[in-house]
Amino acid sequence: MIQPPPLSEKRKAQLRAARLRFHAKFPERNKEAKARYALKYPEKYKEATAKRNREQYEKNTERILQQNKEWRLANKEYVRYKNALRRQRFKMSTPLWEEELTLLVTQEAHRLRKIRENLFGFKWHVDHIVPLGGKIVSGLHVWNNLQVIPAKLNLQKHNTFKETSAWQ
């Protein structure tokens, strides 16, 4: 089988520009094609989107962090409101009969987090195994619902709960 010659950089740029003009002219067709692909290959679509988002973040980290800082400064009241809601959720999800033990375990978990950060050289989080404000299930802020995990894993979890059992 005869292979066609490779495209020159100039030709690649021309094709890319033509594709962008086409997508600008018919945005609904591009949107429909993406939706079909997402339905047909949900895992591939999710991975590709995550990869693209990671690359964009790595390329524009400083700009994104600056934009976030500016947004927080411009929306101080909203940030205060959201922080107050979070504090209230913690308070409401801590049962009185577990308060003392939970406080002790939480302090120990934060000490362990700092030790692990110094030891391993990357960030760790104190996480709720069953999230406090989950959509499917909501846990309590109690001593046996805490774990210390790498920050990367915690941020990937978002606010979800995946049931795991020793019986499965």
The Cα–Cα gap between 12 and 18 comes to 10
pTM given for the model: 0.54
Q: Which residue has the tokens 């991975």?
A: 47
Cβ 136 vs Cβ 126: under 8 Å = no
pLDDT per residue as tens, the chain (168 positions): 688 888 899 999 999 999 999 989 999 998 898 899 999 999 999 999 999 999 999 999 999 999 999 999 999 999 999 999 988 887 888 788 888 898 899 999 999 999 999 999 999 999 988 888 777 788 888 889 999 999 998 888 887 777 654 433
Length of the chain: 168
The Cα–Cα gap between 132 and 159 comes to 8
Domain segments of the chain as ranges: 13-74, 95-163
Phi-psi region of 93 (alpha: psi -120 to 50; beta: other; left: phi over 0): alpha
The Cα–Cα gap between 48 and 28 comes to 21
Cβ 148 vs Cβ 112: under 8 Å = yes
CA 115 to chain centre: 24
Tell me the CA distances in angstroms from 11 to 5, 14, 15, 22, one per residue in order: 12, 5, 6, 16
